[in-house]
Amino acid sequence: MKFKVHEKYKQVVNDFDYVSKRLGTSLPVVRLILIRFVIYILLVVCIYSCAPGYYSYTFSMKESSSPKKMVYENDTLFLKFSFRPMGLMIEIKNNFTEDVNVKWDKLNMEVNGLVKEIEHTQVQLNKIFLEKPPSIVTPKSFCSDLIVYAENIYSEKHSKKSKIFLKHIYPARSNSKGRQVVSHLKGQIITLYFATQINNVDRCWVFNFSLDKIKTFPSLTWIYDMPDKKVSRIFQTTEK
């Protein structure tokens, strides 16, 4: 079997021949060094392409005074948003003197203009519960909600009991096949319609988020070497 050698590689070999003559090094030794170097590069590329990738996501919110922090506040509500691998976490505080009624059934999300059916979840001790937070948020009180896509919910039986699982929307890691899926998430536009009722008056806030950047890490050792603030951003993507 004959292999065609690219002209660039021929030039590299010729350059090594020239250097070996100038340094007085034997040609076989130089070629052996070159072969080992090429093999090393191929192994690094192969390992990197086959190893799982780890990702951090940078989001921003149009309506926030500091877009990267994704916080919205007025005299009525304080809202903090953070994207998690499984969905969108909303933290709510009532700044008003009256109760705020959050209409969870009328919350809607759109992704790139497509409406997504959503569910509300609570995660406790690694267990996932499909339930809505309290509808009434009293003055100066807090509540939170993790919004997930209904299509990502599935169950499996373990020890004769069904357990709920959630597929990740923004995976913290994926194999080589999933890298293309992750790369297509960049530039995603998410719109949230947040419906409330205050003093019997309906009000709907609209918040627009964008996925601005996805950063790839070849292994978790890169993450462990980072400061705590950066590590939290990889998995929560809340602050810059």
Tell me the range of 78-82, 141-145, 150-154, 213-217 where mean pLDDT is highest. Answer: 78-82
Residues 18 and 108 both lie in one domain: no
Assign 19 to helix, strand or coil. helix
Tell me the per-residue pLDDT of 119-139, one tens digit each, with 9 for 90 and over. 888 766 566 777 778 889 999
Q: Which of 35, 50, 65 is the last residue of a domain?
A: 50
Residues 38 and 146 both lie in one domain: no
> Does residue 187 belong to any structural domain of this protein?
yes
Q: What is the mean pLDDT of residues 135-154?
A: 91
Q: At what angle do helices 7-23 and 27-50 cross, to 10 degrees?
A: 140
H helix and E strand count, the chain: 5, 16
Residues 15 and 76 both lie in one domain: no
Total number of domains in the chain? 2
Residues 155 and 109 both lie in one domain: yes
Judge whether residue 32 has pLDDT over 80.
Answer: no
Residues 60 and 17 both lie in one domain: no
Q: What is the mean pLDDT of residues 114-123?
A: 86
Which residues constitute the domain of residue 213?
53-236
Residues 100 and 138 both lie in one domain: yes
Q: At 226, is the pLDDT very low, low, confident or very high (cuts 50, 70, 90)?
A: very low
Tell me the per-residue pLDDT of 60-103, one tens digit each, with 9 for 90 and over. 999 999 999 999 999 999 999 999 999 999 999 999 999 999 99
Residues 94 and 31 both lie in one domain: no
Contact 18, 10 (CB under 8 A): no
**Tokens found for residue 32:** 């052996």
Residues 92 and 105 both lie in one domain: yes
Q: What is the mean pLDDT of residues 24-50?
A: 60
Q: What CA–CA distances, in Å, run from 108 to 83, 102, 195? A: 16, 13, 9
DSSP 3-state helix, strand, coil percentages of the chain (rounded to 5)? 30, 40, 30
> Does residue 21 belong to any structural domain of this protein?
yes
Token pair 């040609």 in the structure block, residue: 27
> Does residue 1 belong to any structural domain of this protein?
no
Residues 135 and 183 both lie in one domain: yes
Residues 117 and 171 both lie in one domain: yes
H-helix or E-strand containing 56? strand 53-61
Judge whether residue 201 has pLDDT over 80.
Answer: yes
